[in-house]
Amino acid sequence: MTTVTEATNGNKKPSTSKKFRVGNMTKTPRERAEELVSRMTLEQKIAQLHGGMETINIYGYSNEIDPDDEDAMEQLAAQIQIERHVPEIEELGIPRFRITNGPVGVGMGDGTPSPPATALPMTIGVAASFDPELAYQYGDIIGQETDDLGQHVLEGPGLCLHRTVTAGRNFEYFSEDPYLTGVMGVEVTKAIQSHNIIAMAKHFVVNDQEYERFRTNIEIDEQTLREMYLLPFEMVVKDGKVAAIMSAYNRVRGDYATENRYLLNDVLRGDWGFEGYVQSDFWSTRSCAASLNAGLDHEMPDAKWFNEDNLKAALEDTSTEIELIDRALIRRYTQMYRFNQFDRPYAPREIDAQGHGAIVRRIGADMAVLLKNSEGLLPLSPDAGKILIVGQSKFAEFACQGGGGSSKVDPLYTVDPEPGMKDVVEELGGSATVESFIVERDLSNLSEAVAAAKDADVVVIMAGLIATEGADMPTMIMPHQQNEMIAQLLTANPKTAVVLKSSAPMVMPWTDDAPAILEVWNQGVEDGHVVGDLLFGKVNPSGRVPTTYPKTEDDWIGHGHEERYPGVNLGEGYNTMTYTERLHMGYRSEDITPAFPFGYGLSYTTFELADVSVDGSASKVTVTATVTNTGDVAGKDVVQVYLGVPAEGQPAKRLVGFAKVGVEPGASEKVEIVIDADASNHPLSVWDVAAHDFVVPSGEFTVYVGHDATDDSHVSTFTV
């Protein structure tokens, strides 16, 4: 046996007082886990099945506050002081198991208060980059900082889909598209786990809305479940080798996700071969024996259900078995041994704030989507004269830190809009001046803002929305009358650019009147620098829309369909949401008119797509094309491949491949995209209920190669 040193609790300095045995280093992780469990008493086993927080009535607390009140939610979190660990067992060599939240940086972790970290741009921005390498860099920062802070688990990535644009946690999730979500999720997972940190994909499954999330039931047909909502998880399990899965709060087909044997056992382990462990979302466990038997391995953050009294009683009346307790522990310990977590001391170290900030500044800019630039207003000259930043405080005065709730990161530093833009002007050697005017939420000083805009040479309106865990947004409209604010400001000065800092797409009735619209999402610590880099052309925007922007408030799957959202009470006391739209969600829906379609995005240059060739069969589709930069500046284009599958009920198009390519002005680059029918996203297949498998249908497939989901400029067919 070897020994390692373990530290004291929370964020205190390491101690050398505790020695832990780590097991036989020549055995496999699973063998070591089995050996450890064999030496544990029943009481020790039970103590390791749950978090170490004192049990509280969280539902009693949460029912007393308004979920839309962000301040009240933060006060609640501070009041209950959530603890995120499993206590150590010194005599067995089991260290304190530390769990931190994600997925937009190292959020609420083990210790009170949680230590500061790099607040990254929101996950939706990662998808907007359409760049798997960027996703890996994003996850690399998260994994490094989780390790820096001495944690073992990072709860992320989030893999639910943007079924509605109003969903409160869309900022934590990637996209409305399952394939794009899966590609990005795999890269983030690989990067996190490269630091010997357990990544935990969440929330399994169909936790696609926050409305009544503790009670709501989701009814969904098997084909839609498999082809859409399970698909990103399947990709992360098979391609990312994710170590852990977090189960969701909601019911699925009548059973809570934490008690759903079909999902936790039959699908996750039987169909996909998952070898990791399943943790509950915090306080999502709803039973003892039923949850353990179904495949839930770890209750967090307390022991409301997996406690000694309940488990001993369940063993006595045979509603569960000791083998299931052992199974749950072996699954978690196997992953801990896999990542050498028994073998390393708790030794937190300083985060490289400036180094990571420089990376965030670069990748944050590559997430931005240029939605409109009809008069060539952008990029601005660093000698543009008097530039006025105008908007409400959260967007125009301070760095936009992103969504609220348990994933919120305490930032190491921030770059606010005005100083950030001034820095960029100075870096470019420009003479422009930058000032700000902050508009009150009630628009009581809007007339003064309009007057200030008239007096400026260039106006930059900053607006947006910040969503939060625990509540969906009530409408698709930006809060606090920002649309009215923007509409009036646009009349004041023809040289006005709108910069959106959003958690999700929204309805923008003033679009036709805006010369330029740039979506940068909730950017995090480097907000001011990222926006400055983009506005002045230090970086050419290259992001693409990851979730359809609706044209009106009628353009969503819930319009006229209460059963879809917010659901209906079928006499059971809680609402049931039925996914009757099936596969026709987002850009796949014929009923949604986009203001800006999925995959869309402009550049400060222009591109031409030519020499498109498609070679298709039942086993593989190969697409080649040439991208030419026909403009004056270097830029990045995203070539996208969509497939029309010849099967009943299929939407017209599904994304099956993409490639981001940088091209110098006047130059051309060849692109090849290979779509493997056997890939984990089943690009050519449909779910066959009778076969209980994905199958490639016979018939004529249609291949669309272009720049967004509505681009039909290059269409080919092949027959299977």
Please count the CA atoms within 13 angstroms of the CA of 588 that sit on its side-chain side: 25
Asked which of 343, 369, 399 is the last residue of a domain, the reply is 343
Quote the distance between the C-alpha of residue 563 and its chain's center. 26
Please report the pLDDT score of residue 107 as a whole number.
87
Asked if residue 274 and residue 309 are part of one domain, the reply reads: yes
Please report the pLDDT score of residue 61 as a whole number.
66
Asked if residue 411 and residue 331 are part of one domain, the reply reads: no
Asked if residue 467 and residue 508 are part of one domain, the reply reads: yes
Asked if residue 211 and residue 295 are part of one domain, the reply reads: yes
Q: Which residues of the chain have pLDDT under 50?
A: 1-21
* Residue 1, H or E segment: none
Domain membership of residue 192 (yes or no) is no
Asked if residue 262 and residue 333 are part of one domain, the reply reads: yes
Strands 635-644, 700-706: pairing is antiparallel
Please report the pLDDT score of residue 482 as a whole number.
98
Asked if residue 523 and residue 374 are part of one domain, the reply reads: yes
Asked if residue 377 and residue 301 are part of one domain, the reply reads: no
Letter for the amino acid at 655?
Answer: L
In whole angstroms, give the CA distance from residue 62 to residue 720. 55
Please count the CA atoms within 13 angstroms of the CA of 95 that sit on its side-chain side: 32
Q: Which of 93, 88, 13, 102 is nearest to 47 (CA)?
A: 88
Please report the pLDDT score of residue 70 as a whole number.
59
Q: At 707, which CATH number?
A: 2.60.40.10
In whole angstroms, give the CA distance from residue 642 to residue 652. 9
In whole angstroms, give the CA distance from residue 234 to residue 579. 20
Asked if residue 373 and residue 319 are part of one domain, the reply reads: no
Domain membership of residue 704 (yes or no) is yes
Place of tokens 């699925």: 252
Full DSSP string of 633-688: S-EEEEEEEEEE--STT--S-EEEEEEEEEE-TT-EEEEEEEEETTSTT-TT-EEE
Q: At 315, which CATH number?
A: 3.20.20.300
Asked if residue 374 and residue 334 are part of one domain, the reply reads: no
Q: Which of 541, 540, 543, 528 is nearest to 424 (CA)?
A: 528
Asked which of 550, 568, 589 is the last residue of a domain, the reply is 550
Task: For 314, list phi and psi in degrees, rounded to 5.
Answer: -65, -35
Asked if residue 332 and residue 430 are part of one domain, the reply reads: no
Please report the pLDDT score of residue 7 as a whole number.
30
Instruction: Render pLDDT for 576-617 as a digit per residue (tens, 0 to 9).
Output: 999 999 999 999 999 999 999 999 999 999 999 999 999 999
**Would you call 160 helix, strand, or coil by DSSP?**
coil
Domain membership of residue 467 (yes or no) is yes
Please report the pLDDT score of residue 108 as a whole number.
81
Please report the pLDDT score of residue 114 as a whole number.
78
Asked if residue 706 and residue 633 are part of one domain, the reply reads: yes
Cβ atoms of 352 and 117 within 8 Å: the answer is no
Letter for the amino acid at 453?
Answer: A
b/e for 218-254, b at 16 or more Cβ within 10 A?
bbbeebbbbbbbbbbbbbbbbbbbbbbbbbbbbbbee
Secondary-structure percent of the chain, ordered helix, strand, coil, rounded to 5: 30, 25, 50
In whole angstroms, give the CA distance from residue 496 to residue 388. 9
**Total domain count for the chain?**
3
In whole angstroms, give the CA distance from residue 658 to residue 483. 34
Structure tokens at 39: 């030496």
Query: pTM for the complete prediction?
Result: 0.94
Domain membership of residue 483 (yes or no) is yes
Domain membership of residue 99 (yes or no) is no
Domain membership of residue 177 (yes or no) is no
Q: At 425, which CATH number?
A: 3.40.50.1700
Full DSSP string of 489-527: HHTT-SSEEEEEEESS----TTGGG-SEEEE-----TTH
Domain membership of residue 104 (yes or no) is no
Asked if residue 441 and residue 492 are part of one domain, the reply reads: yes
Domain membership of residue 459 (yes or no) is yes
Range of the domain at 310: 31-53+86-94+202-216+240-343
In whole angstroms, give the CA distance from residue 440 to residue 545. 30
Please report the pLDDT score of residue 322 as a whole number.
98
